[in-house]
Amino acid sequence: MTSPGAADTIAAISTPLGEAGIGIVRLSGPRACAIARRIFRPHRPRPSWQSHRLYLGHINDPQGDIIDEVMVSLMRAPHTYTREDVVEINCHSGYGVLRRILDLALAAGARLARPGEFTLRAFLSGRLDLTQAEAVLEVIRARTETHLQVAAAHLKGGLGQRLSRVRQDLLDLLARVEAALDFPEEAGELDPALVRDGIALQAESLKTLADSYEAGRLLREGLLVVIAGRPNVGKSSLLNRLLDMERAIVTEIPGTTRDLVEESITLGGVVVRFSDTAGLRPAQDRVEELGIERTRKRLRQADLVLYLVDASLPAAPEDGAALAEMAGQPGLVVINKIDLTPKLSEDELSGHTAWPRTTISAKTGQGIEALKAEIVAQALGGGLRVAGEVITQARHHEHLRQCLIYLRQARGLLEDCAPEPPWELVALELGSAIQELGEITGEEVGEAILDRIFGQFCLGK
Ligand SMILES: Nc1nc2c(ncn2[C@@H]2O[C@H](COP(=O)(O)OP(=O)(O)OP(=O)(O)O)[C@@H](O)[C@H]2O)c(=O)[nH]1
Ligand SMILES: [Mg+2]
């Protein structure tokens, strides 16, 4: 996705393709205004075409036939999203209309934008740093209020600025080391302890940021909670109860659910995806066998397992075996059907698992709220606490981790080899650490990385 820069004008449909009140076709580039004026006929003759004003009129095809009545906004560079001239055509939203207007813009000289290309241009023109550009996608995708707050803070530029400051401080340190190396007379002796303390200070702040990824990842990816157990214990009934809708088929026939049935809700500020699975037993046919295979795979991916047992039946040896197998994973034993006469002796389970237990009735709803609270307590330590800056992207975390390794190595050199540390090596480590930070903010970033980042965007963004 090399940017052709200011050479061409791009166009795309920037709203979802579907029936709605309004849809937007967006143009950006030096010919955006000229192209718009070729396909747009304002109601008022000879308008002033001022920037950041709305104009009402028709989009006409080359034969002069009216396609739609629209509002057009002309926004002249540099006060626009991309810092180029931008035109937005607000038309009625429908596949045919949007497509037709886009085609007219393309025929008039625009090129179809690639995914994320508007935001890429905003980045390349220096309006957004890379963390802000990535935050655009995150704001679009945020499904909880907390995630949106964090994404909006990134969009404002808080993360990028903080990292740029650290990077600048490290660059200053590096400059001093290099000066001492190159011009020992003028720069004088450099105190290793001073440089080491300088590095330690920056490393500490970066470490706090790197540690916030735990919470950030949950915000971004949500939590996978897998409901498992023997057939007929009420897994699908529990899923339906948690979702408050009849999502999965429930019958008294053991082996009803064969495929994974999954749906998400928000709990404790995080999107929680519940996965209802096929009951665990020796499979009776090929379909069930495949279903159980899927269950086992999903169980390995789970952030939390809810292992269901039936309170109205004695514990089965299979329960003990299944629980023992999952001992290394976080989970809860959920004792269901407590509205029936109890037959389950809980002691039989104790030997096999250290997971906490909770009792419910998927039928009456008893214990469901407590179960939700327990899920939040187990998986999120009581809820997601988001304080200060939080990083949410694996890419950022990886660069921070690498950066901290280089800084640790630089400190190691300064400590182990005082009072005459190998300054060249210290400079190399510092340089690598600075490079890692630059890759997060985009101050030093390769084209391949940009392709990967912007390739995830939707069209028209
Ligand atoms: N009394 C009572 N019956 C329940 C409860 N939960 C589920 N059942 C009944 O138990 C039977 C099995 O429920 P399902 O939710 O289909 O069980 P499952 O674990 O998904 O079963 P498979 O998909 O076959 O593995 C149905 O007849 C439900 O109505 C409960 O809390 N109390
Ligand atoms: Mg089921």
Of ligand 1's listed atoms, the one at least distance from the Cα of 362 is: 31
Residue 152 lies in a domain: yes
Q: What average pLDDT does range 128-148 have in this prediction?
A: 93
Q: What is the mean pLDDT of residues 73-102?
A: 97
C-alpha 350 to ligand 1 mean position (Å)? 23
**pLDDT exceeds cutoff 90 at 45:** no
Does 238 share its domain with 361?
yes
Residue 460 within any structural domain of the chain: no
Q: Output the CA torsion sign for 403, 408, 413, 418.
A: positive
Shared domain for 258 and 320, answered yes or no, is yes
Domain of residue 50, residue span? 5-127
Q: Is residue 452 part of a domain?
A: no
Q: Is the pLDDT of residue 385 over 80?
A: no
Question: From the CB of residue 324, how many other CB atoms can be counted at a distance below 10 Å?
Answer: 11
Per-residue model confidence (pLDDT) at position 6: 54
Are residues 282 and 375 located together in one domain of the fold?
Answer: yes
Domain CATH code at residue 201: 1.20.120.430
383 confidence band (pLDDT: 50, 70, 90): low
What's the pLDDT tens digit per position in 6-23?
579 999 999 998 899 999
Main-chain phi, psi angles of 222, to 5 degrees: 75, -170
Nearest CA to ligand 1 atom 13: 234
For residue 219, tell me if it sits in a domain.
no
Residue nearest atom 8 of ligand 1, based on CA coordinates = 234
Same structural domain for residues 376 and 236?
yes
Q: What is the pLDDT of residue 3?
A: 47
Residues 166 and 107 in one domain: no
The pair of structure tokens assigned to 237 is: 């009934």
Atom of ligand 1 nearest to the CA of 336: 31
- The number of the ligand nearest the C-alpha atom of 283 reads 1
Overall average pLDDT of the 222-249 stretch: 97
Residue nearest to atom 27 of ligand 1 (CA): 252
| Structure tokens that stand for 229 in this block | 């157990």
| Percent of the chain residues past pLDDT 90, beyond the cut | 78
Of 80, 109, 127, which residue constitutes the final position of a domain? 127
The reply to whether 123 and 137 lie within a common domain is: no
Number of domains in the chain: 3
Picking from 380, 406, 433, the residue at the C-terminal end of a domain is 380
Select from 127, 149, 169 the last residue of a domain.
Answer: 127
**Residue 386 in domain:** no
Please spell the DSSP secondary structure of 90-142, one letter per residue. Answer: EEEE-HHHHHHHHHHHHHTT-EEPPTTHHHHHHHHTTSS-HHHHHHHHHHHH-
Is residue 457 situated within a structural domain?
no
pLDDT of residue 341: 93
Among all ligands shown, which has an atom nearest to the Cα of 281? 1
Do 70 and 113 lie in one domain? The reply is yes
Residue type, 316: A
Instruction: Tell me the CA–centroid distance for residue 233 and ligand 1, in Å.
Output: 5
Q: Is 102 found in the same domain as 49?
A: yes
The predicted-structure confidence for 55-65, as pLDDT tens digits, reads as follows 999 999 999 99
pLDDT band for position 459 (cuts 50, 70, 90): confident
174 and 276 in a single domain? The answer is no
Q: Does residue 197 sit in the same domain as residue 244?
A: no
User: Of all atoms in ligand 1, which is nearest to the CA of residue 250?
Assistant: 16
Residue 82 Cα to ligand 1 midpoint, Å, equals 56
Does 385 map to a domain? no
The whole-number pLDDT of residue 4 equals 45
Least confident among 40-49, 292-301, 362-371: 40-49
Indicate which CATH number applies to the domain containing 43: 3.30.1360.120
Nearest CA to ligand 1 atom 21: 232
Residues 274 and 339 in one domain: yes
Q: What is the pLDDT of residue 382?
A: 65
**CA of 276 relative to ligand 2 center, distance in Å:** 7
pLDDT tens across 113-131, in order? 999 999 999 999 999 999 9
pLDDT band at 2; cut points 50, 70, 90: very low
Calculate mean pLDDT across residues 340-349: 85
Give the three-state DSSP class for 326: coil
**CATH code (residue 260):** 3.40.50.300
42 and 89 share one domain: yes
| Centroid of ligand 1 to alpha carbon of 223 (angstroms) | 24
Question: Does residue 158 sit within a domain?
Answer: yes
The average pLDDT across 250-278 equals: 95
- Residue 291 reports pLDDT greater than 60: yes
CA angle 342, 348, 349 (to 5 degrees): 95
Q: How far apart, in whole angstroms, are the C-alpha atoms of residue 461 and residue 450?
A: 15
191-200, 298-307, 415-424: which has the minimum mean pLDDT?
Answer: 415-424
